[in-house]
Amino acid sequence: MPSTAPSRPDPTRARYETLLEVAESIAAHRQLSTLFSDLSRLLKRLVPFDFISLTLLEPKERTVRLHILETDRPVYGLPEKSTPYDQTPTITALETRRPYYIPHLAAESQFPLIRDLMLANGVQSACILPLFTAQREIGGLHFGSVSENAYSPEDIEFMAQVARQVAVAVDNALHAEAAVAYELQLAQDRDRLRALLDVNNAIAGCLETRELFDAISAAMRSTFGLDYASILLHEPELGALRMHLLNFPGGGSLIREAAVVPLEGSLAGHVFRSREPRIFSLDEARAISAATGEVFEREGIQSLCAVPLISRRAALGTLNVGSRQPGRFNAADLDFYTQIGGQVAIALDNALSYQRIEELNERLAEEKVYLEDEIRTDNRFEEIVGQSRALKAILKQVETVAPTDSTVLIYGETGTGKELLARAIHDLSSRKQATFVKLNCAAIPTGLLESELFGHEKGAFTGAIAQRIGRFELAHRGTIFLDEVGEIPIELQSKLLRVLQEREFERLGSSRTIRTDARLVAATNRDLAKMVEERTFRADLYYRLNVFPITAPALRDRTEDIPLLVRYFVQQYARRMNRRITTIPTEAMNALARYHWPGNIRELQNFIERAVILTSGTTLQVPLRELKRGPAGENVVTLEAAEREAILRALRDANGKVGGDQGAAAKLGMKRTTLQAKMRKLGIETKGF
């Protein structure tokens, strides 16, 4: 090494006395900060320097970190991060176990990063001494001078002796700090485990969601001392998150419970969709959502931690904690709150499952009552009977609209089978496995109709002795059929409109909003457009109902279906009454086909039921005289004319022959004597055929 430094009086005695002081001083220190302060004071008496610094190895990262111990000058360009091994002379000193002396920094070429840093601070020469013990390498002790070639070989040798003492002291201090850090970590881990146990105990056994949220809130408040904590749950119907728990003492009105948080552009939405826990600074919050960042800034929240709540089936929501202190959360906190989130997710999943089971039990009980009530009604048909062009056109419309989930409005006279069309729409839709719920709006008193539609809570009105689920709630994920929708009072129409538009409502006597995914099929025999003009029906509701109108044809417009319907009803009632009816007289069928049926299919159904009751043999006895009792102004001899025309046609086909296999009686399906009696009654003679 160069040794051109100016000669000085030999300070050997003073140096070794000071070296003894160094040994005594470092033996008394267990903290790096106080050790470095004492070392700087003592070493100034031994070695001339303008800068003294220490570099400590970070083996895992393969870097060194610089610590300035002593200088009277301002320091420029100090690296904010650790420096790689191979860019510092410390690694060379450690590899050779010898001091690395740089007498002229301007000429240094091996380590330009360190050279430029030292030159920027006026250092012209430097000596780097390795710090190591028998157990490990520690780093380097750096002396710097504003003079070139400031240190002699004797100075450097003495520095090496000092470095050996310093290495032991630094090693002891690092061990002591590691031990303290380990104890602190153990204490922190114990606290966290205790907190995790407290949370687990608080939420164990909570099966009601409200009870669960209260338990979580109490545990978070007493255990963590956070400034902000919340739980947001995903609501698929909304496609967003809703805040179900908020613990924010001293918070303003910008963050409130029950608030809806969108998945797009929110911190919780980001974590929910990624399913990855994350720490956010205020700047990071602003980067994801300027609006969210502004809210937290105005509320004073500087750092946040959000973790997803993931159950065995899906992501349920997020657990969020915040602090008014910047940089409050670290990786260990993130791991800890992830564990908390796992416990909360399990408890929440159990509570939601319990809630679903309770709701299903309640719904099953209600459906059982409802279905038993259905059995007692006149709903006995599983098929739509007919082959007419008018009916096929309607069924084509049903096939078209059924899979779409759109609202359907069925027009038609009373008794045309509007409910059967509604059931067909339900059966052809994706909702066919769920409930088909019907309600005749004209059959329910006005005061009770709202309760029937939307349900009520116990005590909501006089006589409400128990909670009742409404038809819309019962039809969740199914279909609700509202017959005679034109009879709904106008003051109730706005609530029906809200269900159709927002898919939500409240039971009578409750402020809790219930969401429903029920498809509506409505029916009416009234002119709703005219009612809108007369202001007895809301225009907005009319347009919302009239998305896909269908008109059920009257029976008189599909007369070719009457024989099919007659046979169908005869089979059904004969089977039910344990009768065997094999024949329907032709004249009776023709008479039924010619009748105008003002009551449509329902009138025909009732008429055939009476005919089956009156029949004692295998031939249907049709009480045709009853069909003459039509309303005023109608032709009451229609059936006699029909019978006369049928007999005359049969006689013409049989060339006037009454009996025999090819006679008119056989063609009409009746006895010869019966036909002759009818002919006498109607004044028909065989002459002329």
Q: How many residues does the chain have?
A: 689
Q: What tokens appear for 76 in the block?
A: 């420029």
- Yes or no: say if 526 and 483 are a contact pair by the CB < 8 Å rule: no
Q: Residue 55: helix, strand or coil by DSSP? A: strand
Instruction: From 131, 110, 129, select the one nearest 56 (Cα to Cα).
Output: 131
Point out which residues pair with 328 in neighbouring strands.
none
Matching CATH number, 556-682, of 3.20.20.60, 3.40.718.10, 1.10.8.60, 2.40.240.20: 1.10.8.60
* Token pair belonging to 456: 């009520």
Confidence at residue 637, expressed as pLDDT on a 0 to 100 scale: 42
Residue type, 206: C
- The CATH architecture of the domain made up of 377-553 is 3-Layer(aba) Sandwich (3.40)
Query: Cβ atoms within 10 A of the Cβ of 250, count?
Result: 9
Note whether 209-354 and 556-682 share their fold.
Answer: no
C-alpha span between 526 and 548 (Å, rounded): 16
Exposure of 575 in the CB half-sphere (CA atoms within 13 A): 7
CB 69 within 8 A of CB 47: no
Indicate the class that CATH gives domain 209-354: alpha beta
pTM flag (> 0.85): no
Nearest to 35 by CA among 19, 23, 20, 50: 23
241 by Cβ neighbours in 10 Å (0-12 / 13-18 / 19+) ranks as buried
What number of other Cβ atoms are within 10 A of residue 630's Cβ?
A: 14
- CA 336, CA 318: separation in Å to the nearest integer? 15
**Exposure pattern of 206-216 as b/e (b: 16+ CB <10 Å)?**
beebeebbebb
Domain boundaries, the chain: 12-178, 209-354, 377-553, 556-682
Using 50 as the pLDDT threshold, list the residues of the chain that sit under it.
1-9, 372-373, 375-381, 630-638
Give the per-residue pLDDT at 494.
Answer: 92
Fold of 12-178: Beta-Lactamase (3.30.450)
Distance set, CA 157 to CA 16, 128, 153, 163 (Å): 12, 12, 6, 10
265 residue type, one letter = G
State in Å, rounded, how far the first CA of the chain is from the last one. Answer: 149
Rounded distance between C-alpha atoms, residue 504 and residue 674, angstroms? 66
Q: Which residue has the tokens 């119907």?
A: 237
The DSSP line for 436-494 is EEEEEGGGS-HHHHHHHHHEE-TTSSTT--S-EE-HHHHTTTSEEEEETGGGS-HHHHH
Tell me the per-residue pLDDT of 201-218, one tens digit each, with 9 for 90 and over: 666 666 666 666 676 666
**CA–CA separation, 453 vs 473, rounded Å?**
8
- Residue 399 has, within 13 A of its CA and on its CB side, a CA count of 6
Run of H or E including 549: strand 548-551
Q: Cα 186 to chain center, whole Å?
A: 39
Residue 212 and residue 201: Cα distance in Å, rounded? 11
Q: Other CB atoms closer than 10 Å to residue 321's CB: what's the count?
A: 23
What gap in Å lies between CA 49 and CA 34, rounded to an integer? 20
User: CA 453 → CA 224, 462, 485, distances in Å?
Assistant: 47, 18, 12
Amino acid of residue 639: L
